Amino acid sequence: MDFGTLLKPEAVKVVTSASSKKRLLHEIGDVVQGAYDVHAGLVVEALLAREALGPTGVGHGVALPHARLDGIEHVMGAFVLLDRPIDFDAVDRQPVDIAFALFAPEEAGVEHLKALALVSRTLRDPSVCTKLRANPDASTLFAILNEAKPAQAA
């Protein structure tokens, strides 16, 4: 599995208007609707339900919101770079400026876990995050993600 199978170029966005975690999740919903034709309201509802179980801010300015969605056929992602970090209830209490959202079919098992592991390992690499933060252009961000070689799991 690689980013080319998870992410469409249209699902990468630089966001300037998110001022809260909820607003960011709505932005992600809009991105997913535009890229994958999945209703934004369903996306936001699923993400909010998942966040209620526990925050998905993994630290170092990165959030990995994820949810299962009824009606999709494969795992898909959306990447958002924020121009200003926001509070996301991250484990390290640091604000978030990188969010990679993953969505899986209700019945997805190992495919969803493989995708989550790929994204997590990649965004744990400080050099990848530095490149992403330095390039606020959607097409460049897409290229960086597709060229990234994730660190192997420990």
Q: Are 118 and 3 in contact (CB under 8 A)?
A: yes
Q: 95: helix, coil or strand?
A: coil
Q: Is residue 154 part of a domain?
A: no
Q: Are 23 and 59 in contact (CB under 8 A)?
A: no
Overall number of domains in the chain: 1
Distance of CA 64 to the CA centre of its chain: 5
Q: Is residue 96 part of a domain?
A: yes
What DSSP character marks residue 16? S
pLDDT at 150: 65
Q: Are 100 and 123 in contact (CB under 8 A)?
A: yes
Q: Is residue 37 part of a domain?
A: yes
pLDDT at 96: 96
**89 in the Ramachandran plot: left (φ > 0), alpha (ψ -120 to 50) or beta?**
left
Q: Is residue 152 part of a domain?
A: no
Q: Is residue 40 part of a domain?
A: yes
Residues of the chain with pLDDT under 70: 150-154
User: Is 60 tagged catalytic?
Assistant: no
H-only helix segments in 37-125: 40-53, 110-123
Statement: the pTM of the whole predicted model exceeds 0.85: yes
Tokens 């990165």 belong to: 62
Which tokens hold the place of 93? Answer: 């209490």
- Which residue range(s) make up the domain with 123? 3-147
Q: Which listed residue (26, 39, 60, 66) is catalytic?
A: 66
How far apart CA 96 and CA 13 sit, in angstroms, is 15
pLDDT tens readout for residues 85-97: 999 999 999 999 9
Q: Is residue 66 part of a domain?
A: yes
Nearest 5°: phi and psi at 85?
A: -60, 150
pLDDT at 151: 58
Q: Is residue 59 part of a domain?
A: yes
Looking at the DSSP bridge assignments, the partners of residue 14 are 81
Q: Is residue 153 part of a domain?
A: no
Q: 150: helix, coil or strand?
A: coil
Q: Are 143 and 131 in contact (CB under 8 A)?
A: no
User: Residue 94's domain is classified under what CATH number?
Assistant: 3.40.930.10
